[in-house]
Structure 1
Amino acid sequence: MTQAPKSQPDLFDRRTLAAHRRRHQPAALFLHDLARDEVEDRLKLVNRVFSSPSIVTPFSQVWQDSFPKAKIIPDTDVLDLQPGSHDLIIHAMGLHWANDPVGQLIQCRRALTEDGLLLAIMLGGRTLHQLRSALAEAETRVCGGLSPRIAPMGEVRDLGGLLQRAGFALPVADVVPLTVEYRDSLHLMRDLRAMGEGNALSQRLKQASPRALFAQTEAVYREHFATKDDRLPATFELVCLTGWSPSDSQQQPLRPGSAKMRLAEALKVPETKLPE
């Protein structure tokens, strides 16, 4: 698949993201472990045996034992997928770093066989909302303004719409919330770096931040969000997107006006007219 010329700068610096991922610590990949477990549970509910799966992920080691027959590829801008070659594609924990998420989904749809399944799992809009709020308030106090520090993440409604834009049938989007508690905000930030989820925004500040910013962030975070046990909660929101490549064998919506029974009859309730 060739890429069209870009009309605007990329949101993410993929080279920096790759460098962050190379420095990850395997013990910190608990979100990826949770995503794998969630995908396994969802596949158990699908009445289908998949013979040619593929997994798009930045960390193949998380998935290879659970899916030994799957083709595992990195989440590059152009995915190493051949058209119509897979009946299952799992896009795992990389879509929130994509400069063109719709393009990623379109590539997945084209690589699916007819009536093939896509399962995409990614970080959603309320992820790290506490840290985002604390950093914004602290930076305003210390620096007199804001800089890009945490990547924007889509809300579940908007992310579900991406499936429709990419041409998937029967699209579904839902959320798996997770709250993790930390002893302090620096521990959380170190954990994010160990996950390979450090700041890779193209417009991020390139110089070091003042120490006072992190001290102020800790104070604001603790003031607004600390638990009764004096721990700092951090929300991670996993959004799961499910869609099928179109097929004539799938259920189709009825045409408007084609119903054979009135709603009141189906519900067995009296029908009343609305006031004019």
Structure 2
Amino acid sequence: MMDTSYDMLKACRSSHPDSSDENIETSYVVGDEEFLPIKESSVDLIVSCLGLHWTNDLPGAMIQCKLALKPDGLFLAAILGGETLKLELRIACTVAQMEREGGISPRVSPLAQAFSFWLQVRDAGNLLTRAGFALPGVDVDEYVVRYKSALDLIEHLRAMGETNALLQRSNILKRETAVATAAIYDSMFAAEDGTIPATFQVIYMTGWREHPSQQKAKRRGSATISFNDIQKQLGNGT
């Protein structure tokens, strides 16, 4: 298990002291995805869970993951997509800051900012291909989490470590701005039961280190059945 934060690894290890299988060796490593401390062709599986959106060089980090895999090794990743919090929190923060401070400063980190300011689903497949993965696959889910108030959401984001990490940012969220954000959030997005929604978009990516045993696309023009014939057999319905 690897994380850039020693405190996060310590918390993870202490929260699950008895969950590790004695037959499975588990190591906790403080490391950076952009300088992956794993030997080339040394692991069968790499799983990245909601961490790659913090990298400055996302394509480079994924290339290093591919090189660290053994042939036919699997890369699995979940990354927060560009629609995360975009509709609700960002609108409320922007309006509140414009009203109270006359300008805006980011409050949550621009997700996957190295590849594009917002990582969209269409970009994920290009990333996998660019990194050299075979049999790339992409899927996406959106999760709506409900909170009692916008202030509870902000505290949750702080606990997750998902607030803004940009160097050029305002370090202090003024109380009046925070209160205004909560009020605007509530007035624009609150449900009938009084809760407020927060949308998290998760993009899932899978890719394999190339190996001769893997499926490969047929040579262009080698098809023996046309799509017209298939359509006739299946009918014209969609």
Q: Name the TM-score class by shorter chain.
A: 0.7 to 0.9
Post-superposition offset of 1:134: 0.8
Task: Tell me if structure 2 keeps the 8 A contact 1:149–1:201.
Answer: no
Query: In structure 2, what is the Cα distance between the partners aligned to 1:201 and 1:220?
Result: 25
Following superposition of structure 1 onto structure 2, how do residues 108-257 of structure 1 map, counting pairs within 5 Å? 108-129=65-86, 130-153=88-111, 154-206=119-171, 208-257=172-221
User: Structure 1: which amino acid aligns with 2:221?
Assistant: G
Corresponding residue SS for 1:268:
helix
Among all aligned residue pairs of Structure 1 and Structure 2, give the percentage whose two residues are the same amino acid.
Answer: 41
Q: Gapped runs of 5+ residues in structure 1?
A: 1-16, 27-58, 271-276
Query: In structure 2, what is the Cα distance between the partners aligned to 1:105 and 1:258?
Result: 33
Task: Tell me if structure 2 keeps the 8 A contact 1:86–1:113.
Answer: yes
Task: Evaluate the alpha carbon distance shift between residue 63 and residue 84 of structure 1 in structure 2; reply closer, same or farther with a 3 A threshold.
Answer: farther
Task: Evaluate the alpha carbon distance shift between residue 22 and residue 123 of structure 1 in structure 2; reply closer, same or farther with a 3 A threshold.
Answer: same
Task: Evaluate the alpha carbon distance shift between residue 257 and residue 63 of structure 1 in structure 2; reply closer, same or farther with a 3 A threshold.
Answer: farther
Query: In structure 2, what is the Cα distance between the partners aligned to 1:135 and 1:122?
Result: 23
Query: Which moved further from structure 2: 67-76 or 210-219?
Result: 67-76
Aligned residues: 220
C-alpha offsets along residues 192-213 of structure 1, whole Å, 9 cap, x if unaligned? 111222221222223x232221
Post-superposition offset of 1:177: 2.2
Task: Evaluate the alpha carbon distance shift between residue 176 and residue 63 of structure 1 in structure 2; reply closer, same or farther with a 3 A threshold.
Answer: farther
RMSD: 2.7
Residue in structure 1 matching 2:58, options 90, 94, 101: 101
Corresponding residue SS for 1:151:
coil
Q: Gapped runs of 5+ residues in structure 2?
A: 112-118
User: Structure 2: which amino acid aligns with 1:184?
Assistant: S
Query: In structure 1, what is the Cα distance between the partners aligned to 2:65 and 2:180?
Result: 43
User: Structure 2: which amino acid aligns with 1:111?
Assistant: A
Post-superposition offset of 1:80: 1.3
Residue in structure 2 matching 1:85, options 33, 37, 42: 42
Query: In structure 2, what is the Cα distance between the partners aligned to 1:170 and 1:202?
Result: 38
Task: Evaluate the alpha carbon distance shift between residue 133 and residue 202 of structure 1 in structure 2; reply closer, same or farther with a 3 A threshold.
Answer: same
Task: Tell me if structure 2 keeps the 8 A contact 1:124–1:156.
Answer: yes
